[in-house]
Each structure stands twice: as structure tokens, then as C-alpha cells.
Structure 1
Amino acid sequence: MKYKKVHSILEIGTLGGYSTIWLGRSLPADGYLISLEANPTHAEVARGNIARAGLSDIVEIRLGRALDTLPQIAAEGRKFDLIFIDADKPSNPDYLAWALKLSHRGTLIIADNVVRNGAVIDAASDDSNVQGIRRFNELLAAETRVSATEIQTVGSKGYDGFAIAVVTGDI
């Protein structure tokens, strides 16, 4: 499979715009990034940070719940080269479904916080974040149109990880 340079990015979960800025800096001058943020305060802070980073021309922050905004993006007919999921963890299974709808062969899907200090293997956990990630992992593992792996990270905040999937089949 031949891969092309990332031109379009969808980010689900903006917070202060840190990841948004790093992702935006990777884009060519004619690229674009749409970031979805539910919290108006977070969106305002991120817009300021993005402006200071000189990325306002290629980054758009859309305010609203991602599960409300994603159907609007789909209605626009957009497809993305990279989709980064880092929002409310109970909704990650739904975000994966939307990521697949907004993908094409070769799209890279990355999801953050999929290890949760190892809590995802605790079958007795009733934490909604853990349950959302566990269901996301199950769906990702069963998805035949992607090739995926998860990588554990270790740092000052403990250990966590991220999932990386490339769309290999027709969507």
C-alpha cells in the first residue's frame, strides 16, 4: 500500500490545543485540521494558543459535543488522512465508529489513554473511562479494515498508552 503525506487531520478533543499545535505544525501549507471541543473555555484557550503558534489559517476548532459535530462533518463529505482521538473515554467506541466513517484507505487513527495505568485489564472495574476504553479496544481488535497495535508509555504521571491503527481495507 502506498501512503501519502498527511494533508487533513481530525482531532476529537482539543483541551488547551497542545496536541493540536503539534499536529498542525506537521501539515503542509495547504493542509487543514479540524479539532472538536465540547467545553467553551477550553476552546477559547486553545484558539489563543493556536493563534500564538501561527496556525489559525489551517486549524479550525468546532465547539460542541463531538457526537453532535461528527455527523455534520460527515455531511460535508470530508475524509481525513489522520484522526486523533483524545476526548471523553466512555465515548471512544462511538468515536472509533465515526473515525472509520471519516477515513479512507491509508488513514491513520490514533487514540490516546488506552492503558489507563493497567486498569483496562481489571474485569471488575466499573469506571466508565475504563469501560469505554475496554470496549474501544475490543472493537478495534475485531475491526477487519484496520491493522492496529497499542503501545504502552511510562512517565511521571504513571503509565498509559496509545492505539495506532491504519485503515487497510475499503471503508
Structure 2
Amino acid sequence: MSNTETTHPQHPHRRFAMLSKPDPNWVRSDDFHASFLIPKDDALERSLKYSDENGLPEINVHAGQGKLLHLLARSIGAKRILEVGTLGGYSTIWFARAVPEDGQVITCELKENFAEVARNNFEYAGVANKVKVLVGPAAETLQTLPSDEKFDFAFIDADKASNLTYFLQAKRLVRRGGIIIVDNVIRNGTVANPDIDDENVRGVRNLLAHIKEDKEVDATTIGTVSEKGYDGFLYALYL
């Protein structure tokens, strides 16, 4: 299924790639709730604008999800966070603000030019001291991380075909009682549609099939509708 490209009515410089065009009611609802719960933030807005100006695709999490990730990390007292898929660093900034001053976010990015944009955004946001960007194929990068230096929280938002590979590595690296979140697991309902079998859908299905049999993990998926369309994420607890 091809993506639809659209613009946000409040932020016309932002172009979103998505599986389905969002209902205007979803966008209006996002903006309404954000007006109460997510204050305007120069560093976050600038990170989106700078990423767009440098040609990065608008596939970052939306503000509501960024805030949720931030709150979830804070709620478990996370000091070390692993992120797979940096892009321009928008979600990374949310994470870096969630960890204490002596905390750390390690984020994996395939493309050096994306990593450079992200580093610039981290400097502007004042969180560069908490973030380490590892550049290269994440499947290889993750293998280099020692399993005795545990993370509290992992967020996987990279190529969906490799979801299971990333999840297994995250499980190796996250502490017992830690959280692993995988983004984009609903995909406009295509994951549940037997007539659709592209590599992204297969990547999600393979992950779900594994987790069903994995007795060390308890998980659920949450569907979402937002300015980014109809999608959702997987929330897993490493028992």
C-alpha cells in the first residue's frame, strides 16, 4: 500500500508520510488536547523544522506520542534508554528530557546525514550531553552493546521488516521489569488483513507470533488515531 502525503494545518512546513489520510476530527482532537497538555516547545518545533529543511521524511512520532513515551520512561524511573531509529531526534529529545542528568539515551541510526541533523537538534535542545548516536545498520550496532550494561526502556521505530531482530536484541539489553515499545504495529489495519503481505506487515506479524510464544514477555498492542493516521504501538514488559 502506498503512503499518502499531507500537511499539518497548524504547521504547514511539516509533511507527513502515512498509510492513510487522517480524519480531520483526529487532527482537531490532537490539537485540542495538546493545547491543554503539551506546551509549545521551541526546541521540539525547531527539531521538526530543521529536519524538514534537511530533507528528512516526516515519519517521526507525533507530539502526543512523544509526550507519552516521555511519561512512560519517567514513570519507571528510567536512567538508560535505548532507541532504534533516530531520524531527526524528535523522540530522542523527549527521552533525553525523561532521564536524570546522569542518565543516557543511546540511539541507533542507519544514515550519517540523519545522525548529523539529529546531533544538531540535540545541541539546540541542550540534551547532547545525555545522548549518544550510533551510526550503522542497527542489527549490527545492537550486537556490539554489552548485555551487562542494562537499559530500563527500549523504543523500536526503524525498518519494520527487522522488528523481530530488533526486539530480540532489545530483550537481551533491557533489564527484567524493563519496557520495550515497538511503533507502527497496526498500520491502518493492514497487519490483520490476510490479503496484504508486504515486508512491513510481515515484520509485524513475525514479531507478534514470537511474542505469543515468549514466556518471558507480557505485551499488548494499542491502536491509535491521530494527525499521523490510524496506527498503533506494542507495549511489552520483560518479566
Give the TM bin, normalised by the shorter chain. Answer: over 0.9
Query: Which blocks of at least 5 consecutive residues in structure 1 are unaligned?
Result: none
1:4, distance to aligned residue in structure 2 (A): 5.0
Structure 1 position 134, deviation (Å): 1.1
Pairs aligned (count): 165
2:166 is equivalent to residue 95 of structure 1 = yes
Matches within 5 A, 1:13-162: 13-74=85-146, 77-162=148-233
2:56 is aligned to none
TM-score (norm. length: structure 1)? 0.92
Deviations 1:70-96 (A, max 9, x none): 111136x32110000000000001011
Distance 2:183 2:141 in 1: 20
Cα distance in 1 for residues equivalent to 2:96 and 2:182: 17
Q: Distance in 2 between matches of 1:142 and 1:45?
A: 39
- CA displacement at 1:45 relative to structure 2: 0.6
Tell me how far apart the structure 1 counterparts of residues 186 and 194 of structure 2 sit (CA, whole Å): 14
SS across alignment from 1:144: coil
Distance 1:43 1:4 in 2: 28
**One-letter code aligned to 2:132:** E
For residues 32-58 of structure 1, what are the alpha-carbon distances to aligned partners after superposition, in whole Å with 9 as ceiling and x for unaligned?
010000011111111111111111111
Q: How far, CA to CA, are the matches of 1:68 and 1:33 in structure 2?
A: 18
User: How far apart in 2 are the matches of 1:72 and 1:13?
Assistant: 16
| Separation in structure 2 between the aligned mates of residue 142 and residue 96 of structure 1, nearest angstrom | 14
Secondary structure, counterpart of 2:176 in structure 1: coil
Greater share of helix residues, 1 or 2?
2
The structure number with the bigger radius of gyration is 2
* Residue of structure 2 equivalent to 1:164: 235
User: Match of 1:160, as an amino acid?
Assistant: D
RMSD of the alignment, in Å?
1.3
SS in 2 for 1:106: strand
Following TM superposition, the consecutive aligned residue runs of length 4 or more in structure 1 with deviations greater than 6 angstroms are none
Residue identity (%): 46
Please state whether the residue corresponding to 1:105 is helix, strand or coil: strand
* CA deviation profile, 1:105-124 (whole Å, cap 9, x unmatched): 11110110000000001223
Aligned-partner SS, 1:33? strand
- Determine the C-alpha separation between the residues in 2 that align with 1:88 and 1:125: 17
